[in-house]
Homo-oligomer: A and B are copies of this chain.
Amino acid sequence: MRIGQLAKLVGVDVQTIRFYEREGLLVSPERQQNGYRIYTQQHVERLAFVRRCRMLNLSLAEIGELQGYLDEPHQPCTAVNGMLDGRIAHVRAQINSLQALEKQLVALRTRCSGVHEAADCGILTGISAETR
């Protein structure tokens, strides 16, 4: 299978596949005589794994770590669930700070209603004041 087919199949851009290869997340595939990359079912599975990890917001470095476990399955999985715990904590922190931000933005938004000129806009004066 050529790169375009793989891209469609897994739902990843062609450029991104080449990028993953350079970054060591995908094994370099064989090449045809013309230089075209030829992929196997194993590549499909690995790429799908990478993509699912990305959808879980794992970094490429973390994904590389996880692949180490796929490649050497006879080691304890301690670091795997540690990584997930870290991710979960991080996502929760993000949610909290975004919720705080939402409150600030909504409060700021209420300061402007109706049409008036910028000099009198409560949003601008609100930001210029303090927004702590």
Contact = CB atoms under 8 A, between A and B. Distances in A.
Contacts of A57: 101
User: Interface majority SS on A: helix, strand, loop or mixed?
Assistant: helix
Contact of A123 (B49, B77, B98, B109): B77
A21 interface: no
B119 A80 contact: no
Interface in A113-132: 115-121, 123-124, 127-128, 130-131
Contacts of A69: 118, 121, 124
11 contacts: A49-B128, A56-B101, A66-B127, A73-B117, A76-B116, A77-B118, A78-B115, A80-B112, A81-B123, A88-B102, A88-B109
